[in-house]
Amino acid sequence: MLRRSFMCAAAIFSLLAIGASEADSDHHRLCKGFVPPNDLRIPVGAKRNWAFMNATNGKGVTEAQYNTIVDRFERLYRDDFTKAGGTLIVNRLWESSLVGAFAGQKGDRWEIDMHGGLARHAAITPDGLALVICHEAGHHLGGAPKKRVAAWATNEGAADYYAALKCLRRIFAEDDNATIVADAAIDLNVKENCERQFTAPSDRLICQRTSMASASVGQFFADLFREPRPPAFGTPDPSVVEKIFDGHPKSQCRLDTYFNGSICHVDVSVALSNSDFREGSCVQPQDAVGFRPLCWFKP
Ligand SMILES: [Zn+2]
């Protein structure tokens, strides 16, 4: 466990010290996390006393739920990784207390580390955890824009966008979404947009369910960063960047990205591109909604 964390830290320091060209070589494992490194640790069996705001979205996921999500992800995505040139390796680190998830590439080993500490956080629901693994997949498969310091890696905002635009749609497609969504308190703004953007009932339901996953991780961000309230669907981040921001956007901006990805009308089967951000996604000015938010993206 310590060794793995150290590898991530060492890779980051190497990157800072030697610059991008060498950092991309096989000698350095780059770690793109779901959240920035943090001191929170949630060991197996921990009492739920870490939640700053007494998160009520969930109770964290069980080990069985964790394995079910990773199983499904591996089954659905193994071939996609192969086609893209890598071998998917998900490291199931349930015993780890670390609150994070990471992606890294070493040659054709395209890895995802899923730490149990994040899965056990009170704000994380099974759907929230699915979003987390989809974000990590997004670093590998999410297309442009890539990180300036690591050419293989889709940047943070784009990995979030990919998670909602492509990955969760496939993960959720196998479920009885009408039943799942029926009992949930779906934001009215979400409902209206999902109905406006999609005609197929199945698409509308997945759109709504993605908002449930987004609310889970939104609560998680707010808790982790001790923010006074979780991000909300009706209060988008108004900021506009002057150049693309590669790091982790602020909590509201990340929720906006999930929301926009979920309401983009482009079909899940239309792939994203490593060179042209327009392909497979919603873009301005053609699309009024569903594009990458300007709080991290500059077209
Ligand atoms: Zn990330």
Model confidence pLDDT, tens digit, residues 119-160? 999 899 999 999 999 999 999 999 999 999 999 999 999 999
- Residue among 241, 236, 274, 257 at smallest CA distance from 83: 274
Q: Given phi > 0 = left and psi -120 to 50 = alpha, else beta, which region is 91?
A: beta
Distance from the alpha carbon of residue 160 to the mean position of ligand 1, in angstroms? 8
Distance from the alpha carbon of residue 134 to the mean position of ligand 1, in angstroms? 10
Distance from the alpha carbon of residue 173 to the mean position of ligand 1, in angstroms? 24
Give the tens place of pLDDT for each residue, 162-220.
999 999 999 999 999 999 999 899 999 999 999 999 999 999 999 999 999 999 999 99
Question: For the stretch 163-191, what's the b/e string if a residue is b when 16 or more beta carbons lie within 10 angstroms of its beta carbon?
Answer: bbbbbbbbbbeeeebeebbeeeebbeebb
Distance from the alpha carbon of residue 222 to the mean position of ligand 1, in angstroms? 17
- 8 Å CB contact between 232 and 259: no
Distance from the alpha carbon of residue 158 to the mean position of ligand 1, in angstroms? 9
Q: Helices 188-197 & 251-263, crossing angle to 10 degrees? A: 30
Distance from the alpha carbon of residue 29 to the mean position of ligand 1, in angstroms? 14
Distance from the alpha carbon of residue 219 to the mean position of ligand 1, in angstroms? 17
Q: Which residue has the tokens 């938010």?
A: 293
Distance from the alpha carbon of residue 135 to the mean position of ligand 1, in angstroms? 6
Distance between CA atoms of residues 284 and 281, nearest Å = 10
Sign (positive/negative) of CA torsion 244, 256, 32, 279?
A: negative
Distance from the alpha carbon of residue 228 to the mean position of ligand 1, in angstroms? 23
pTM recorded for the entire structure: 0.89
